[in-house]
Amino acid sequence: MASGTSKKMELKLVGVARASLEELLLDFQDFLRQNQLPLWSRDHAKAKEVRALAYRSDRSYSTYKTYFEGSSPETAANTAICLIHQANYLLDQQLRALEKGFLEEGGFTERLYRVRSQTRGTRKKL
């Protein structure tokens, strides 16, 4: 683990981030519905265009700037929705990896107990 956070806490924090993005997603969907604007399907040409930007190696805010600044509310909201879906996908992958690591290796307390038990076992043999 590279962070100074326990695996258990890291799982909780990533879960909270995921839940926050879900709330934001619902807010953007509500915005579109309340303003009678279309929600792009994943097969919509502009949605595909936005999703393809994620594969550029030189991406930054300026990559997406034209979709937010000076564009229509429909484009801005749908672009945000596309980015939220991408972030959720990445968080889901991170959660799966953290859960797998936690199940296989245990948390800090469990690893500490194993080390203590092994140390005690070694001392008894001496």
The one-digit pLDDT tens for each residue of the chain (126 residues) are 455 567 788 889 999 999 999 999 999 999 999 999 999 999 999 999 999 999 999 989 999 999 999 999 999 999 999 999 999 999 999 999 988 887 777 665 666 666 667 777 676 666
Residue 51 lies in a domain: yes
Residue 106 lies in a domain: yes
Residue 62 lies in a domain: yes
Residue 1 lies in a domain: no
Contacts of 8 (CB under 8 A, 6+ apart): 102, 107, 108
User: Which tokens go with 9?
Assistant: 């806490």
The residue length of the chain stands at: 126
Tokens 């203590």 correspond to 116
Residue 2 lies in a domain: no
What is the total count of domains within the chain? 1
Residue 43 lies in a domain: yes
Residue 37 lies in a domain: yes
Tokens 């879960």 correspond to 15
Q: What is the largest CA-CA distance in the chain?
A: 77
106: left (phi over 0), alpha (psi -120 to 50) or beta: left
81: number of Cβ within 10 Å? 20
* Domain ranges, residue 70: 7-125
Cα separations in angstroms, 88 against 25, 38, 82, 85, 105: 10, 22, 10, 5, 25
User: Which tokens go with 55?
Assistant: 């594969």
Round to whole Å and give the CA distance between 75 and 67.
Answer: 6
pTM of the entire predicted model? 0.78
